[in-house]
Amino acid sequence: MNRALAASLLNAFVFPGAGHIYLKRASRGLLFLAPSLVALFVLMQRVLDTASGIADRLADGRIPLDPTAIATEISRQGTLHGGATDVLSAVLIVCWIGSILDGYFLARR
């Protein structure tokens, strides 16, 4: 397997920036790795906070054990976070795709 393909696959299937580290370009890889980690961490915090809140309301009976009611509560909670979740998701996606492409073209040089 050539270096360009290996770097792209590492960036695609491990984490953004992993292929750059493989290419011994760690500082460039950190440009993809750092924002991706921050976005992923904040997104996961929001998901866990939402899930914990819904679980608490299920446990004390404020939400019935009905899949439709739970789905409604999940969608209602999703709208409370506003566009920040969309921005974080976009940052993660752009970093992921950008690292794949950058790693590939960097290795081809």
Q: Is 36 in contact with 16 (CB distance < 8 Å)?
A: yes
Tokens of 68: 């439709």
Q: 10-40: per-residue pLDDT in tens?
A: 999 999 999 999 999 999 999 999 999 999 9
- Nearest-5° Cα angle at 78, 75 to 82: 135
Q: 49-86: per-residue pLDDT in tens?
A: 888 988 999 999 999 989 998 888 888 876 656 677 88
Give the position of tokens 């997104």: 43
Q: Is 89 in contact with 43 (CB distance < 8 Å)?
A: yes
User: How many residues appear in the chain?
Assistant: 109
Domain ranges of the chain: 3-108
The per-residue pLDDT for 50 is 84
pLDDT exceeds cutoff 90 at 7? yes
